[in-house]
Structure 1
Amino acid sequence: MEPVLSADDDAIAVLLPDDLVLPTGVLETMSNVRAQRGGTVLCAIEVSSAEISAYGVFDVEPVADAGKDVLKVNGMVEKPKPQDAPSNYAAAGRYVLDRAIFDALRQTERGAGGEVQLTDAIALLIKEGHPVHVVVHRGSRHDLGNPGGYLKAAVDFALDRDDYGPDLREWLVARLGLAGR
C-alpha cells in the first residue's frame, strides 16, 4: 500500500470486511478526530463483560478537552479474560492509520500464524509516543465473519429500508407467531 501513496497522503483508512458498523459515518468522525489530534484513530464499541474475551480490548483514558466518545489509547489486550480486561471498549474493525504505521509494521516481528499483526504495530506506535485515540461508536456492529452474524446484519439492514422493511417485518411477525399480540 505504501508505494501507491503520494507524499501528501499522511493517513490511510482500513475497514475490515467482516465488521459492519451502522449507522454509517463513523469513519468521518474518526477523520475529524485525526484532523484535531493527529496520529492514529481507531473505532471502538462498548461490549459487556460476558462478551469481552472475543475481542481486542483497549486500555484507555479520558481526554480532557474531548467528549466522552473520544479516548486516548494507552495499550491494547487481545481477547482478555473478563477480569483482566482494561476496559469494555473493543476494536470494531475501523482504522484511520497515520503513515507512521508502515515503519511500525516493518519493525514488528511476525506473530500468530507467522503474520505481522496490525495490533502489534499499533502498540509500537503507542510505545514510541505517537498519539492513538479511539472513537466510541454508539450504533450497532455486526460480525459478518460467521453465518449467524451475517444473517442478523442482513435482517437489521433490511428492516431499516423503506423498500424491504415493511414486508420483512410483517413476514417476521407471522413467522415468529407474534401476529395479534
Structure 2
Amino acid sequence: MKQLRKAIIPVAGFGTRLLPISKSIPKEMVPVVDRPLIQHVVEEALAAGINEIILVTRSGKSSIEDHFDAHAELEDSLANKGKDDLLKTLAAIAPPHLKITSVRQPNAKGLGHAVFCALHLLEKDEPFAVILPDVLVKPQARSQVCDLGDMVKRWDASSAAQIMVEAVPEEEVYRYGIVDCGGSEPRAGESATMRGVVEKPKPSDAPSRLSVIGRYVLPYRIMELLSDQPPGAGNEIQLTDAIDRLMKEGNEVQAFRMNGRTFDCGHIEGWLKANNILAREAGYDV
C-alpha cells in the first residue's frame, strides 16, 4: 500500500461569505491571528505527516502561492538588520520538506471537479487527503492531538476511507451533511463504518448529529469514480456522490469523530470567533 503523503486543498472559490474582505484578497489569505488562513491549514497537514500540497486554484489567487515562495529581497534586508527572529518566522512558513504544487480549476463545477483537477499529480493507486480551508481544525486548548494525523493512522491500519465528523446540535443538522453510521456513533478519536450521508436533513429525519467537517482521507478509486461522476446537487460534481458510489461498491468508508475544535472561517462570525479565541490562547492581549 502506497504511503499517504499528498493533500489536495481547493482554493478556487470566490469567498462570497467573507465579502467585502475577500473582494481583492483571496479568502485563504485573510489572517487568523498572526498568519493567513492557508498557512494554518498547511501546518495542519504537515503535523499529520503530509508534506506534498496540491492547491487547486484559479486566476487572481497567485498571492497564495507567493506566500509559500522565497522572498530573497526581504530575507536579505532582515539578515542585514540582524532580525534573526523574523527570518526564522519566514523560514517556518515553508520548511524544506514542504512541496507546494498548484493546478488551475478552469470552471467552478463543484468540489468533486476541483479534486479531480489534481488527478495527474497522483500516482496510480495513491491515496490522498482533501482539506477544505474554510474550516480550521484546532486541538483543544493545551492539547497536542492532531485529528488529521489520527485519520491517516486509521487509513494505514485499515485501508478504509476516513471522513472527519463532529457533533452538532440537533436543531442545526439541517445546515450540514450528516453521516449515517447505523446508530453506532464513534467516540472522539475513533471511527465507525458509514452507511451513507444525508445532505441537510430535517432534524426528525437525521440519522445522527455527526456532521461532515471538510477533512477526508480517500483511496485513488475516488478519482476513477469522479472521472464519470454526473452532476448532482446544484448541477455540480459532488465529492459526496463519489464517496456514496465507493460505499455501494462494497468499499468501507469510516466516520472519524474528531477530538479538537472547528472554526468556520468562511463567514465573518466564525472568522471573528477564531481570531478572538486563538489570539487569547496564543498570549495576545485582545
TM-score by length of 2: 0.54
Instruction: Write 1 or 2 for the structure with the bigger share of strand.
Output: 1
Q: Give the letter aligned to residue 191 of structure 2.
A: V
CA contact (8 A) 1:44 1:90 kept: yes
Aligned to 1:6: 123
1:39 equivalent in structure 2: 160
The answer as to 2:228 corresponding to 1:112 is no
For residues 83-122 of structure 1, the aligned pairs below 5 Å read 83-122=204-243
- 1:26-55 Cα deviation digits (max 9, x unpaired): 110000110111131110001110111111
> How far is the alpha carbon of 1:63 from its aligned partner?
9.0
Query: Which of 248, 252, 258 is matched with 1:131 structurally?
Result: 252
**What is the deviation of 1:131?**
1.1
Kindly state the Cα deviation for residue 68 of structure 1 after the two structures are TM-superposed.
Answer: 7.2
Q: Deviations over 1:92-125 (max 9, x none)?
A: 1101111110112123211233310001010010
Per-residue Cα deviation, 1:147-166 (whole angstroms, up to 9, x for no partner): 0011111112112113x1xx
Q: State yes or no: 1:50 paired with 2:171.
A: yes
Whole-angstrom distance in 1 between the partners of 2:248 and 2:238: 16
Larger mean CA deviation between 115-124 and 100-109 belongs to 100-109
Q: Do the aligned partners of 1:41 and 1:132 also contact (CA within 8 Å) in 2?
A: yes
Equivalent of 2:196 in 37, 57, 75: 75
Percent identity (aligned): 37
Q: 1:63 touches 1:72 (CA, 8 Å); kept in 2?
A: no
2:264 match: 143
Tell me the secondary structure at the aligned position of residue 13 of structure 1: strand
Which portions of structure 1, spanning 4 or more consecutive aligned residues, are displaced by more than 2 angstroms? 61-64, 66-69
Task: For residue 67 of structure 1, report the CA deviation from its aligned partner.
Answer: 8.0
1:155 aligns with 2:244: no
User: 1:128–1:116: structure 2 CA closer, same or farther, 3 Å change rule?
Assistant: same
Q: 1:63 to 1:155 in 2, by over 3 A?
A: closer
d(CA) in 2 for partners of 1:113 and 1:84?
22
SS at the partner of 1:84? coil
**Structure 1 stretch 104-113 or stretch 11-20: which is displaced more?**
104-113
- How many angstroms apart in 2 are the aligned matches of 1:67 and 1:47? 13
Worse overlay, 23-32 or 69-78:
23-32
Residue identity matched to 1:56: G
* Superposed counterparts of 1:11-30, under 5 Å: 11-23=127-139, 25-30=146-151
Q: Which runs of 5+ in 1 are unaligned?
A: 169-181
Provide the alpha-carbon RMSD of the alignment: 2.0
Deviations 1:59-94 (A, max 9, x none): 014499x98731111100000000100011100110
Aligned to 2:108: none
Q: Secondary structure at the match of 2:170?
A: coil
Partner amino acid, structure 1, of 2:132:
L
The CA distance in 1 between the partners of 2:257 and 2:268, in whole Å, is 26
Alpha-carbon distance in structure 2 between the residues aligned to 1:12 and 1:52: 28
